[in-house]
Chain A
Amino acid sequence: MSWVGRSAARREDPRLLSGHGRFVDDLHVPGTLHAQFVRSTVAHGTVTGVDLSATLATPGVVAAFTAADLDLGDITAILDRPPSEFVPTAMPVLARDRVRYVGEPVAVVLAGNPYAVEDGVEAARVTYEADRPVVSAEQALAPGAPLLHPAAAANTLVDVSMFATEGIDAVFAGAHRVVRVRVNSARQNALPLETRGAVASWDPREEQLVVHTCTQVPHLVRTLLAECLGLDERAVRVIAPDMGGGFGLKCVVGREELAAAAAALRLRRPVKWIEDRRDALTASFLAREQHYDVRAAFDEDGRMLALDAGIVCDMGAYSCYPFTAGIEPLMASAELPGVYRVPAYRVRARAVTTNKAPSAPYRGVSRPQIVMVMERLMERAARELDLDPVEVRRRNLITEFPYTGVNDVTYDPGSYLESLDFCERLLRDEGWYERREAAAAEGRHVGIGYSCFNERTGYGSAAFARRKMAVVPGFDLAEARMDLSGTVTVTTGTMSHGQSHETTMAQIVADRLRLDIAQVKIHQGDTDRVPYGFGTFASRSATIGGSAVARAASALGDRLLRLAAYLLDTTGDNVELHDGSVRRRDDHGRALSYRELAEVAYLKAHLLPKDAEPGLTASASFDVQGDGTFSNAAHGVVVELHPGTGQVEILRYVCVEDCGVAINPQVVEGQCRGGIAQGIAGALFEQVTYDAQGEPECASFIDYKVPTACEIPDIEIHHLQTPCAFTESGAKGAGEGGTIGAPAAVLNAVNDALRSTGVELDDTPIRPETVQRAIGACP
């Protein structure tokens, strides 16, 4: 029986359940100094003075450094695009003279314990000459707006116009109907429950700076650390320990981890920085503040003829490394058509810089927003043409694969129509349509909404190169090693932070080598142990990392077969792997266990065939040459709106997903449910706000509403399976789909519940007062 496809118990669980996980703040190195940051209190201005004398006089404080003291290189993320399309920003590790958001680090303070360092930070005196802040995209683009970065005219960091199908204006002019939606989504915090943090120390024996940091991208952190600190990469070891979530926020390099490392190098003492929640909410990376103005032309049957989109993403003060401020607008513009056939397409996508904490990728990156846009267009067209909204979707869905879209993306096979039909049938069979009408007759507001979407997963080098990133992530490397006990260790360049890779990748290896997963150990997140890798983001781990792991395991299997064939005195095609051994196909009684083979490979090398190397290791790589592989899903939601409170109550949530072969179905369902919860959070609750002076208004969990078990409903999940043709396991990515589909489905359900009012909502989060106003209960 194969391991892939089985809900195997997680290898991670015993340690995490017994309190023996090792998260970055769990590391206690004797003599550690604790680091915290003096942070800007103005949103935009010039630092006129930094007085750290009281800080240095504070009991327990050992040192404090400004930018001038540490003299580090800036963090500059690059897109290889002309200046008309991209303007880089230089993000200093510590602010030099200019500050561009409240919370920007100005100085680092080091003390012997975590309480004293807070005293030291509080004692610092920084003076500023404040400039007028830019706190919205609208302000950023307004004529005469103050400029954050002198090179970025109109505060614009990215400005790309793409596709512009010939004749598109004529299509609009002659269309039966043109519908328009303006969709705005609020700034959000990815909010891993473990805040960011790092422990850095100099190891004189290895002549190495060792940095434990909670990062999704250990090798990229090493590269930037080496560059900023002027060290060879060999002299930097980055280790990602157990991680309390990341969701994209930890796949960019933070200036604080660089500052902590620089301080450790300078002082030759271990330095620990653990971000507190206030800093995590105000001074970390944010995401998702986007504005869409989109028109679509339809024929009388509800078929979309053309799509014309204007997209503005408010990326905050700086480009994040390595993705740049292009992360959101480039994703949105490339992927907007989604699951639908769109014959003509034009898009202009911009990233603007504002005096807010910078944006980084967050689970789904722009796709929650573009799915809202497309699904709102379908719903609005259905309403204006008096058609059924699910039927309108059916008429527009891509049904033949592979399909190359107007966005020049080729979609591999999926189950777009099947998942939508399945989802609708579930809600129909349960009688929700009748219940909706019955509720309406009683004056209650019950609505049904859907979303239908795909998710590109497994972005290889080719896909990121098309985006023109200077750092092109894509491939992954794996090394498999069998030891004398016959057990296998496999490295992966991906970095699990909740996704269960220690289990799922072991399942892949166990199948390839006909082993129990207990005999497979996956190593990740250590730049000295793992040859190279781009970590975990963009749902790339199962697809790309998992394929590299599979190939390495197979290559190791081939070595075992060759060795056994020689020792069993037969040909390579007459042996097979079986239950921890290699046996002759023609005589199953003649077999050698992995232990016996390993003994020869390591301890009796004189018995090896002449051309064979001693040892039992193998390595492999994997990359995706084309456009990646597309997972897809349909979500169906039933909501009831409560006029008294404005509450949106979710009565039913069903998800029909297709991520190809599910390596571990229980893990896939966990990813779906958790993703949907984050999507619901974006649809109904979470919003990072700033006041007119650029002061962040969300500094605690009182101000930033993270949904609890009372807000997130039980979610029913069904699986369809369209295997990927080119990943080794047939899996497609499953990490982000839930988050991508949920906001659109919830928004559509709310609008359906509001249909008697004539009000249509297009912005998230849908706030209670908006619902009350729409129902007219709160004039």
Chain B
Amino acid sequence: MTEKLLISLTVNGRRHDDLVIESRYTLVDVLRHHLGLTGTHVGCEHGVCGACTVLLDGAPVRACLIFAAQAEGRDIRTVESLSHDGGLNDLQRAFSACHGLQCGFCTPGFLMLAEGFLAGRPDATREEIREVVSSNLCRCTGYQSIVDAIERCARERREARGDAR
């Protein structure tokens, strides 16, 4: 468990070589403490709260339930990948417009959850969104504004691509 491994990780399109880790280190700890990507948060370390949600090959996963070594060779995306040129993307803007965050601690997890979900289900209904939002815990908002934000982003994306729905 404490033996050292040499791994490389590809995070947000950038490859990080020569990472010296112990086999027991979780992905979230390596992202946060070795790569300095502290946007991904740790809320429970047992896979329930979802604050550590990142995308692994496009799918939302709990970064506290994956060893860093297991993520080698996979495409990892964190909340830091969402902003472009210093500006917020449409999903982030929707969260702000809908007051989908208060303390902001759970927010990166919800953003990555929504980012992964909407990529596969761009036409999701409000009820489907609500069910996906129930994957993660938020203690501040009561969830309604998070559902609102994701629904708004989905609608705007549909409108942007000329979908009449």
User: Interface residues, chain A, CB within 8 Å of chain B?
Assistant: 7, 9-10, 12-14, 16-23, 25-26, 28, 59, 114-115, 119, 191-195, 242-245, 247, 274, 276-277, 497-500, 666-667, 669-670, 673-678, 700-702, 706, 708-712, 714-715
Q: Give min CB distance, A31 to chain B, whole Å.
A: 14
- Most interface-central of B37, B44, B104 (chain A CB within 10 A): B104
Nearest residue in A to B38 (C-beta to C-beta)? A26
A-B residue pair count with CB separations less than 8 angstroms: 176
Which residues of chain B are near A191, meaning CB under 8 Å?
139
Contact A16 B99 (CB under 8 A): no
Choose, from B68-76, B80-88, B153-161, the stretch at the interface.
Answer: B80-88
B51 within 8 A of A: yes
Nearest residue in B to A12 (C-beta to C-beta)? B104
10 extra A-B contacts, CB within 8 A, seeds A28-B36, A667-B99, A708-B136: A9-B96, A16-B104, A18-B82, A119-B2, A193-B137, A244-B103, A498-B102, A673-B144, A674-B140, A715-B144
Nearest residue in A to B26 (C-beta to C-beta)? A115
Which residues of chain B are near A26, meaning CB under 8 Å?
32, 38
Contact of A242 among B43, B78, B104, B133 (CB under 8 A): B104
Whole-angstrom CA separation of A678 from B143 in the bound complex: 11
Which residues of chain A are near B134, meaning CB under 8 Å?
708-711
Which residues of chain B are near A19, meaning CB under 8 Å?
37-40, 78-80, 82, 108
Which residues of chain A are near B15, meaning CB under 8 Å?
none
Which residues of chain B are near A28, meaning CB under 8 Å?
33, 36, 38
Contact A14 B88 (CB under 8 A): yes
Contact A277 B140 (CB under 8 A): no
Q: Give min CB distance, A113 to chain B, whole Å.
A: 8
Whole-angstrom CA separation of A245 from B106 in the bound complex: 10
Q: Give min CB distance, B8 to chain A, whole Å.
A: 20
Q: DSSP class of B's interface residues: helix, strand, loop or mixed?
A: loop
Contact A245 B143 (CB under 8 A): no
Which residues of chain B are near A499, meaning CB under 8 Å?
102
Total interface residues on B, CB under 8 Å, equals 58
Contact A706 B107 (CB under 8 A): no
Whole-angstrom CA separation of A339 from B138 in the bound complex: 31
Known: A191-B139, A193-B138. A23 touches B105 (CB 8 A): yes
Which residues of chain B are near A710, meaning CB under 8 Å?
130-131, 134
- Most interface-central of A13, A247, A499 (chain B CB within 10 A): A13
Whole-angstrom CA separation of A708 from B137 in the bound complex: 6
Contact B43 A670 (CB under 8 A): no
Which residues of chain B are near A497, meaning CB under 8 Å?
103
Which residues of chain B are near A22, meaning CB under 8 Å?
38
Nearest residue in B to A680 (C-beta to C-beta)? B142
B46 within 8 A of A: yes
Which residues of chain B are near A711, meaning CB under 8 Å?
134
Contact B106 A193 (CB under 8 A): yes
Contact A498 B103 (CB under 8 A): yes
Contact of B96 among A10, A23, A712 (CB under 8 A): A10
B41 within 8 A of A: yes
Which residues of chain B are near A712, meaning CB under 8 Å?
142-144
Which residues of chain B are near A193, meaning CB under 8 Å?
43, 49, 51, 103, 105-106, 137-140
B53 within 8 A of A: no
Q: Give min CB distance, B91 to chain A, whole Å.
A: 9
Known: A21-B104, A115-B25, A701-B44. A677 touches B2 (CB 8 A): no
Q: 4 tightest A-B contacts by CB?
A: A19-B39, A244-B105, A16-B104, A498-B103
Known: A498-B102, A500-B102. A194 touches B43 (CB 8 A): yes
Q: Give min CB distance, A193 to chain B, whole Å.
A: 5
| A-B contact list, 18 entries, CB within 8 Å | A19-B82, A21-B104, A21-B105, A22-B38, A23-B105, A59-B2, A115-B22, A242-B104, A276-B45, A498-B140, A499-B102, A670-B102, A673-B145, A706-B139, A708-B135, A709-B131, A710-B134, A714-B147
B55 within 8 A of A: no
Contact A243 B92 (CB under 8 A): no
Whole-angstrom CA separation of A205 from B115 in the bound complex: 46
Q: Give min CB distance, A154 to chain B, whole Å.
A: 36
Q: Give min CB distance, A214 to chain B, whole Å.
A: 10
- Most interface-central of B79, B101, B105 (chain A CB within 10 A): B105
B27 within 8 A of A: no
Contact B104 A17 (CB under 8 A): yes
Whole-angstrom CA separation of A21 from B1 in the bound complex: 32
Contact A677 B142 (CB under 8 A): yes
Which residues of chain A are near B101, meaning CB under 8 Å?
13, 16-17
Contact of B92 among A18, A115, A276, A702 (CB under 8 A): A18
Which residues of chain B are near A498, meaning CB under 8 Å?
102-104, 140
Which residues of chain A are near B41, meaning CB under 8 Å?
23, 25, 194, 244
B63 within 8 A of A: no
Q: Give min CB distance, B32 to chain A, whole Å.
A: 8
Interface residues of B in 95-152 (CB under 8 A from A): 95-97, 99, 101-108, 111, 130-131, 133-147
Whole-angstrom CA separation of A706 from B51 in the bound complex: 14
Nearest residue in B to A274 (C-beta to C-beta)? B42
Whole-angstrom CA separation of A497 from B133 in the bound complex: 22
Whole-angstrom CA separation of A676 from B88 in the bound complex: 30
Which residues of chain B are near A702, meaning CB under 8 Å?
46, 48
Contact of B88 among A17, A21, A194, A708 (CB under 8 A): A17
Which residues of chain B are near A678, meaning CB under 8 Å?
139
Which residues of chain A are near B133, meaning CB under 8 Å?
708-709
Whole-angstrom CA separation of A14 from B95 in the bound complex: 10
